[in-house]
Amino acid sequence: MAIKQTGDIAAHRLSSDQLSCEFADIAPLLDPTAAAAAASRCHYCYDAPCVQACPTQIDIPSFIRKIGNGNLKGAATDILSANPLGGMCSRVCPTEILCEGACVRNHQDAKPVAIGALQRHATDWAMARDAVRFTCAADSGRHVAVVGAGPAGLACAHRLAVAGHRVTIYDAHDKGGGLNEYGIAAYKTVDDFAQREVQWLLSVGGIELKTGVALGRDVTLEALRQQHDAVFLAVGLAGVRALELEGEALEGVMNAVDFIEQVRQARDLAAVPVGRRVIVIGGGNTAVDAAVQSRKLGATSVTMVYRRGVESMSATWAEREFAQTQGVTLVTHAKPVRLMGSNGTVTGVEFERGATDGGAERFTLEADMVLKAIGQTLVTVGIGHELLTLDQSRIAVDADMRTSLDKVWAGGDCAASGGIDLTVQAVQDGKLAAASIDAAFAPAAVKAA
């Protein structure tokens, strides 16, 4: 849904120069001296807790030691062998609750080793020089369909190609990358990095990417099962939860994921309209990304409102703190009850906060734009949900990412794998599925079947 310039929603709130500054890389690359200093702080722990905290199990002490020794190619090889999307993960992983949160140096009087920054130092160096290349094994004669070119699909396809299996990726968008391309704030991944990473992944060979092909519209799951030896569903969560409140259809009310996508895909950021007063409803990373991007586009007032306390927010403490440093106001324990408008355009939101002696307190916040970020859902059209078992509205999978349907695996956000909804977890799901599919193709497994 395109953003319409109605009410006080307008483009060109900031100049191009101002926007270039606002949307510059928030975590610029370490220089060699800084990288060496950061690497020297690592204790190279045996049975390192940082490795256990990484869903993809990157050998962190090994790659940091190699950075310290000046072996950036070796460091990047360690990273990309465990996580083929290690470059993007170094940009978007909430390291504060994963590897760096588990670092033995992370305590009251010291900061953890800068694992994310060091990972980016190595992977960016390697990608700039095309220094790390994977090759395909001999053609197995097997052909796998991967539905969805996001982190899970790309990781699965890459692993399968390396194992010698031909892969066709089908994606409904015009470009591959999934949420890395369309759903992450522009200030987190600059210089078209998501597409550069996709091209690097495809360079392994043996993978065909077909864009503009939607499951259910252009191809069916049953057809894919008949035409391929295996199918991996990595379709993400394309549906968006509605508030189901009065006024939700007013102009100026839109889904935060659509807003983020429009900012990410904009050729001219100055041309993206934004409200003067923006309310973001939700407490996750999508809400934070939408709120911060609104401020960076020139909104004078941005308020993020969440119905519970900060301890229940899925956005990490680091994300919350960053939003507040960017001028975003956080209101908690407030539930929206009505969106108000005039002449078909939103003018504010009425909220209800807690229970008091006199009942629930109600208050109103004025707004020109309201962004909804209350969660996403699985779109079941085309995935054969009549045959696939679902688990709490996601595709049920076992430990090997197998679904209830023969020859079909699933992973990433669309699957009930038990992991958290992060890029790095999606990569791990893709890796596990690829290993399971490869094992199913082994002669002994085929014979047993």
Write down the residue that tokens 């360690």 correspond to: 78
If DSSP codes are grouped into helix, strand and coil, which group holds residue 75? helix
CA-nearest of 184, 188, 157 to 170 is: 157
Tokens, residue 35: 């990288």
Element (H, E) at 359: strand 359-366
Question: What pTM was estimated for this model as a whole?
Answer: 0.94
- SS3 of 153-195: HHHHHHHHHHCCCEEEEEECCCCCCCHHHHCCCCCCCCCCHHH
Instruction: Establish how many alpha carbons lie within 13 A of residue 408's alpha carbon, considering only the half-sphere containing its beta carbon.
Output: 25
Q: Are 248 and 242 in contact (CB under 8 A)?
A: yes
Residues in the chain: 449
CATH number of 240-375: 3.50.50.60
Q: Would the CATH topology of 32-129 be identical to that of 240-375?
A: no
CATH number of 143-236+378-448: 3.50.50.60
Query: What's the topology of domain 32-129?
Result: Fumarate Reductase Iron-sulfur Protein; Chain B, domain 2 (1.10.1060)
166 vs 138, 313, 372, 404, 407, CA distance in Å?
10, 41, 40, 24, 16
| Euclidean distance between CA atoms 42 and 63, whole angstroms | 11
| Euclidean distance between CA atoms 152 and 144, whole angstroms | 14
pLDDT given at position 130: 96
State phi, psi for 306 to the nearest 5 degrees: -125, 145
**Helix 115-129 vs helix 32-39: angle between axes, to the nearest 10 degrees?**
140
Tokens, residue 449: 């079947």
How, if at all, do strands 230-233 and 9-10 pair? unpaired
In the chain, what are the domain boundaries? 32-129, 143-236+378-448, 240-375
The amino acid at residue 370 is V
pLDDT given at position 109: 78
Exposure string of 211-243, with b = 16+ CB inside 10 Å and e = fewer, is: eebbbeeebebeebbeebbbbbbbbbbbebeeb
- Tens digit of pLDDT per residue, the chain (449 long)? 566 655 689 999 999 999 999 999 998 899 999 999 999 999 999 999 999 999 999 999 999 999 999 999 999 999 999 999 999 999 999 999 999 999 999 987 789 999 999 999 999 999 999 999 999 999 999 999 999 999 999 999 999 999 999 999 999 999 999 999 999 999 999 999 999 999 999 999 999 999 999 999 999 999 999 999 999 999 999 999 999 999 999 999 999 999 999 999 999 999 999 999 999 999 999 999 999 999 999 999 999 999 999 999 999 999 999 999 999 999 999 999 999 999 999 999 999 997 555 567 999 999 999 999 999 999 988 776 677 999 989 999 999 999 999 999 999 999 999 888 999 999 999 999 999 999 999 875 544 44
If DSSP codes are grouped into helix, strand and coil, which group holds residue 132? coil
| Euclidean distance between CA atoms 306 and 362, whole angstroms | 14
Write down the residue that tokens 């009065």 correspond to: 246
If DSSP codes are grouped into helix, strand and coil, which group holds residue 387? coil
The CA-based dihedral angle spanning residues 437, 228, 199, 433, taken in that order and rounded to the nearest 10 degrees: -20
| Euclidean distance between CA atoms 298 and 292, whole angstroms | 10
Neighbours of 4 (CB within 10 A): 12
